[in-house]
Structures are given as structure tokens and as C-alpha cells.
Structure 1
Amino acid sequence: MNVLMLTVALATHATPIRLEDARARSRENVQALTAVLEASSAEQDVRIARSSLLPQVRFSGSGNLTYIGPQRSYNIVPVEGGGFQQLAVDTPEVAFPNLSLGVSVSQLLYDRAVWARLEQSGAQLEAQRGEALEQQDTSELEGINRFYALFRSQAAIQVLEANVRRSEQQLERARALFQAGRVGKAEELSAQVNLGNDRIAVVSRQSQLATDQARLTTWLAMPGAEVVEAVDPGVLTQTPAPAPSLEQALQEARTRRPLLVALRKRLRAAELQRSIATAGYLPRFSLDAAYQRQGQDPEIFFGQPSRQNVVRGGVSISWDIFNGFTTQAQARRAEYQTRAAELNMQQSEREMEGTVRQSHVALEAQIVSAELAEANRKAAADALVLAEERFNAGVSSTLEVRDAQLKLTQAELTLLENRINVEIARFTLMRAMGTLAPGEAK
């Protein structure tokens, strides 16, 4: 099987994957969905915290039958002349029902801890949502990297295949010149060896292609054995757009990076924990009401609703006058946790600024490298044309043509690598700025 047949066989029935598809699927892969589920769980925590502020209504009902068998009891009674004696009393068996029905309602009037806990759960929910967006951005960037890794392998194989075709043409020229008596047999053999080495390079690159395909499919939650093909995003034929200013990138990151939003909400939740702790210094008020109906006669219980009724209601107050300094200790602990959250947020802001600057410098450097690589490719292409003309004229050897071929191939691979690195660096900067998915980041 020659190189062309192997390439066609590997590409047969390949599922095309566009860059937009890879980005969208990455935001819905296992890691991203797990983060979304955690945010949904935090949303239920808000509902649980809110439930304490709503009326608590409870219904209870029971019905049972009590059976007492024949009994003998003794009563002590006085007798004439003084003294006492035991008098036996026999009672027959008896059975009687016991019916009960009740409804109770309680309503919290004031408890500072409950209100603070509700606000805290809301802050934790927003923090969890921010972390979910952060994970989605992380998953999307990884999907972009894996997409471009596959596209790089595909494009590199095309470059190597083009080099194989150039080697085939060089072998034909060397063979024709040898048959014409203008060059020796060594030139033809050298060209044949070069062609074999170039074909080996193409075959060797196919294993890397399969690795990149598997890494992309598994990340996108697709069958790992499925053969995919990265659709050309068109970046190789486009001039790289300039990088945004560093000031603009930093400003965007401060306002739109989901991680910073989540950390600010975590800090707010820590501050509210102190409010929850200090609520122990304040009283708690609640309103209670209950209705109960109980009796042993079913006819009265079910037939006379005006009887056997008990209704009660009242306002209760609860105040921890002294609890062994527990409230004070909890408040102090909450202050320490708030300070720790504040320090963590400040450090994350500094790290974010460093990441943005690093990504910004990397993007600018990659753009310059891509421009230099394009100039090198043009020079290498001109050098190959000159070497082929000299070989056809019989004034150079296959070695000179081979050297020009290798330099052109290396220049094309370098240009490919740098041009793809420009796009990866651009998406990395967008990830650091929090603008990878503008609609969702808002």
C-alpha cells in the first residue's frame, strides 16, 4: 500500500468537525456539565434557605383501638370498729377507640440568621454559576487546542505529501538526465533514496494523526474509535489580526472574567457568615397556631363538629442570653474566613493580570513569528526553483536540490506551526480576558 492509498484509507468515512462545533461541544462535555449540575444543586440550596421564611403547615391524624381485658383490682375501705380491709372489684373486658385530628401552622416573624443565610445561599449560587462558566471556558479552550492539534497533523501530512511529489519529480528528472548521459547513476539512486525517506515521514505522521483524533473525540464526548477530520478554519490563508491593547485586555478581564465574579461572590458569602454568627445576639420571634380534635366516641367525633375542638395560638420569643461564648467564637471565626477569602481574591486578581499580560505578549510574539515564517517560506520556494533550474541545466547535483527541498518543507512546517500558534494564543488571551464566550459571560 503506497502513501497515497494509506492516507485515503485513513480519511475514508471521517466525520468532519468544524471549529465552531468543537467549541460548542466542549462547553457541553463531561467536565462542563458536571460544573453546571453543581450550580443547579446550589440553586436548590437557595430554595431550602427560603423555605424557613414561609409558613410551615403540618397535618396529623390518627385512629386506634384500645382493648382492656377482664381485670380485678383491690380497693382499701374502712370497716366498722376501726381499721381497713381490701375489697376486690372485678371489671369486665372493654374496648374503646381513640380518634385524633390536628393542624398546626407556624410562621417565623424575625430571625436575622435565616435572612442572612438566604442571602448567603444566593451569593453561593452566583459563585457556583461563575465557576461553571469558568469551567466551560476551560473546556472550550482545551477543545480548541485539541482541534488545532488535529488540524496541524492533517496540514503537516499535506506538506509532507507535497514534498513526496517534489521528490517524485526530482527522481524523474534525475532518471531522464541519466538516460541522456548528462548525470551519473548516483544522482538517480540518491533521488530514489530521498523519495523513500519522504514517504516514510508521511507514514510516521499518520500515527500522530490517530492520536490527535482520539484526543479530540473523547473530549467532545464522541465515540473514541470514531474517525474525525478537522475542517480547515481558513486561518492559513488569512493575515493574522493584531492583538488588542494590554490595557483593554486587562479591563475586559477585570469586568468579565467568570472566575473573578465567582471569587467576589465567595467573599460576599464569607461576609454574610459573620452576620449569621452575630445573629445569636438577637432574639427570634415566631407565630404558632394549632387546631386539634380528639375523642373516643366516633359518633360525637364525626357527627358533632362543634364538640371535641381545641384551638391554640400565640407568639414565642427565643433569645440566647448566654451560650458559653459560642456566638462570639463563631463571629470571630467568620471574620478570619472573610479575611482569607479577601486575600484569596486579591491573589487571584494579581495572577489573572499576570496571565493576561503573558498571553498578550505571547500573541504578539506569535504574530511576528508568523510574519517571519511567511518570509522564510517565500525565500525557500525561490531557492528550490533556482536549484531545480541549475540541476536541469546540469550545473548542480541532486544534493543541492535535496537541500532546497528540505528547507522549503521545513519552512512550510514552521509557517504552519506558527500560524496555528497565533490562533491558539489568541484564544488563550480571550480565555484569560473572559471573552471566549461573550454571550454567556454576560
Structure 2
Amino acid sequence: MKKQVNYKVNGEEWKEAKDKAFNKLVKKVKIDGFREGKVPRNVFEKKYGTGDIISEAMEDLVQKKYGEVIITEKLIPVVEPKLEIVKADDEGFEVNMTFILDPEVTLGEYKGLKVKKDKVKVTKEEVDHEVSHILDRYAELVSKDGKAEEGDTVVIDFKGFKDNEEFEGGSAEGYSLELGSHSFIPGFEEGVVGMKREESKDIELTFPEDYMAKELAGQKVVFNVTVHDIKKRVIPDLDEEFFKDLDMEGVSNKEELEKVVEEEIKAQKEREADNKFIEDLLEKASKNMKVEIDEEIIDAETDRMYKNFIEKLKMQGVTEELYFAYSGAKKEDIMKDMKKEAEKRVAYRYLLEAIVKAEEITISDKNAKDEVKKMADMYKMTEEDIMKELGSLEVVKYDLAMQKAIELLKENN
């Protein structure tokens, strides 16, 4: 929903706004022959023109008007207002301010939706697969005789040469490499397979055309490789010694381990089934409601999602530029996919807010404070730090109300 306000300023009000803007700008200006902040208006305008004064005056007046409109019209904008400048010169200015507001929501059927929740079943194959993963984590690397095979870990020295000259970044000593991990360029690991301890060998390779180091992309090179040790992975037996190392509460034999693993897989599947159940309920209920969501709200949610995505990359030590360079992905494609998800998120949010209102769901201060305490205990933080992260108790109340609306959908399905 949008509300447009036309705002015009001229005459004495515009003159006073420009005078105020000049007095603000002149404090930052230095011109030879004048003290800082003491440049006459005519000298300033001769050097810089009137554009900056007009822009500053307009910005101040728009900010003031923005606040006035919100208070007098009792508006709650959900994104930054759009500004369309109709006129801006020495005589005055005119601007159209478009306020983007929450849309009107008309709920449809949201009870008795008859959405089926997936049944959860754990197979023996799934349990065996997870147990094998646990055993693999406890595998030991043991030196062996004979030839290196795929799956073995070799300890090697290597030097890379291009045109008979050693190139930067192509050498290492005592490097542990798992054969078959594909952590080196194609052909390197395959070239080491079959080598024996203390054997040296030249491996001729060509770097991929799309290799990240442009000076090596598509180039022919030679790696001189020496194998110092060959180690094979030894998977432990499910014996008493293994279960002591595992140190898992209530697990001392194979049967008990399989039982715990089965319970963990089942719990994970239950969570996934519950999440899908909620998603299906929200999707069906949102299709039954009537709402027209402005594109600006979707775009704002998309931008928020993208910023969160970039922040998560930074936490992993990956910059935005580095991610796109290595992944080959395009920002516009990612934004396009995110926009689809943003449309769903925004629709679900308005659905749940409407249900909260219709069902008169309220959260007390006590319930909200109890939730903060629970979060503090879970994350090993103080309640004060949790509140700093959240901003206010109203945020907690909002989230709890939304959760109650979801529970209501589930219970009345």
C-alpha cells in the first residue's frame, strides 16, 4: 500500500532554508584569502555554484517533512520512502514523496487445511552408513610398504617448473596429500599413484584453462615429486578399545551405538518433516489470503537476505569479490533466486501477523523475559548481552507471537 505526498517550498521559507544550508556548508570550505568558515556567499557561489546549497536545503526540508507526515498521518513506513524531484532551483523546489506501507491483508481459510505431515522411518542402511562415518572419523593413518594407491595419504616433496624455471607457489616439503581428494590439479594425484617410498618422479601436466592464477592457466609444467612416506587409513574394529575412545554416554557395544545413531537420525528426520509440514501449511494458508505486496517491500527483503549472505561469507574469511571470482556465480542470478524466496518470506510474515491479530495472540512481559533467560542459558551469554543483540523486548514478543501463530496452524490442521 502506498501513500503519496506532494511537497512544495518557495518564497521566504525556501530562502531561509538555503541560508541555513549555506551556513552549514561554508564551515567546511577553505578558499585562499578568507578564514575558514568566513567565505562570503557571493564568493562561495562563484566558485562552487548554487547546486550544493540547493541539495543541502532540500535534504533538510525533506527530512523535516518526512517526520511531520509520519506523525500527522500516523504512518508506519516499512521501507525508505521514494523521492521524485519535480523541481529544484533557486526559486524553490517540489518533490513527490511516496511512502511504502504494510498492505491490507484479508485472511482466507487457515484452519482445517488438511495438510499431511510426512511419516518418519529410519532404515538399517541409514544406520549402517552413519556408523561407518563414525568409524571413518576414528580411522588412523598407518605407514605401509609397497605402492601408493588411491585413498592412501602420501608425504611428499614437490617442485613445479615452467619452462625449466621454478614457479611461485608450486613447491612444498613434507606435504601430506590424500590421493583421490582432487585437491591438486588434474593428473597430479594420478601421477603419484603407483610410486614407492623414497621414489622420485617427474610428472608432466597442463594447468586448466580456467585456473585462478592467470599466469599458469593453460600452461604446461613439470612437477618433480619425491615420496617419503605412504600411509593407509585403518578403520577401527567395534571392540572395547574403540568404545573407550568414543566415550559416548550409555554406549559400550555395537547394538547400543546403533540404537543411539538410529535415535539421532530419527530426531533429525522429525525436525525436517516438521519444517516441511510448517512450510506446506504456510504455503496453503498464504494462497487462501488476499494481499497485494508492493515490489519495494520484496526488494528490501531481497537486499537484507543478500547482505546476510555476504556477512556469513565474511565470517568464513571470504570476501564478496573472492566468492564471485572462485564460484563463477553472478550477483544478478543470486539476487534473482533470493527474490523468489523473499516473496515467500514476506507473504508468510503478513499471513502470520494477520493470524496473530485475528486470534488476539498476546505475549506478556514475563513470557518474553523467560524466553530471554532461556536464550541466555542456551548460548552461554548474559541476559543483558542477549538484549543488546535483540534490541528490545518487543522483538522477543513479536517472535513468540509468530511462533504461537505457527503452532495454531499446526494444531488446527
Report the TM-score when normalising by structure 1: 0.21
Structure number with higher helix proportion? 1
**Rg comparison, structure with higher value:** 1
Greater RCO between the two (CA within 8 Å, min separation 6)?
A: 1
